[in-house]
Chain A
Amino acid sequence: AQSVTQLGSHVSVSEGALVLLRCNYSSSVPPYLFWYVQYPNQGLQLLLKYTSAATLVKGINGFEAEFKKSETSFHLTKPSAHMSDAAEYFCAVTRMDSSYKLIFGSGTRLLVRP
């Protein structure tokens, strides 16, 4: 069975500081991995995806994530936080069957202090 663990339900950073949101996955087969962002009262927006190509994936809004098989991790980073980055972030892994259902972590709420 596949699963995702997001360490830290809340992360607080100062504006301009490094953002690091942690995601570890469990999968018996090579996974596809995703990061989504959710702003209050909105749906999910795809930030970036890993689909077995380059291990360092660049996404929108300056975010990137690195797939590390040895650590079963897919942490999300951004060099400099902006106030507009405050949101809920979800890591997700696909189940590699015909449905490709997404299995989500419990989410990390990013707070950005001025």
Chain B
Amino acid sequence: ETGVTQSPTHLIKTRGQQVTLRCSSQSGHNTVSWYQQALGQGPQFIFQYYREEENGRGNFPPRFSGLQFPNYSSELNVNALELDDSALYLCASSPPGTPSEQYFGPGTRLTVT
């Protein structure tokens, strides 16, 4: 059984640019959540997707947006990158009926210069 995978592993962007991060959920999982983990801190909830629709959002500006596809994979898009967006971005998927049980991928390390 393949776990949650994320791509790319690392990337470096310049302030003002746009970035897309990708996540493939664990087999059979239909809910995907995204978190931002700044250095030395706990993860912060960005949003969650269920059945291709946003199902809850944390305290992040609209320039953070996402998508979920019919195969339950997901994308996180960030526009107008700021230096404070530098962080580890974690994707987590949940099996049907248990959205509280979240299994995390290895993350994407984004550095904004």
Q: Please give the residue numbers on chain A whose beta carbons come within 8 Å of chain B beta carbons, in ascending order.
A: 32, 36, 41-46, 49, 51, 90, 92, 94, 97-107
Knowing A43-B90, A43-B104, the reply to whether A101 touches B58 (Cβ < 8 A) is: yes
Chain B count of residues within 8 A CB distance of the other chain: 28
Which segment, of B11-19, B75-83, B95-103, faces chain A? B95-103
User: By DSSP majority rule, is chain A's interface helix, strand, loop, or mixed?
Assistant: loop
Question: Across the interface, which residues of B come within 8 angstroms of A99, CB to CB?
Answer: 33, 45, 48, 55-57, 99
Question: Across the interface, which residues of B come within 8 angstroms of A98, CB to CB?
Answer: 55-56, 99
Q: Does B62 reach chain A (CB closer than 8 Å)?
A: no
Question: Across the interface, which residues of A come within 8 angstroms of B107, CB to CB?
Answer: 42-43
Q: Which of B43, B56, B99, B106 has the most CB of A within 10 A?
A: B43
B62-100 Cβ-contact flags toward A at 8 Å (1 or 0): 000000000000000000000000000010101000011
Question: Across the interface, which residues of B come within 8 angstroms of A104, CB to CB?
Answer: 42-44
B42 contacts A105, CB within 8 Å? yes
The CA of A107 and the CA of B42, in the complex, are separated in Å by 6
Task: Kindly identify which residue among A94, A100, A102 contacts B43, using a CB–CB cutoff of 8 Å.
Answer: A102
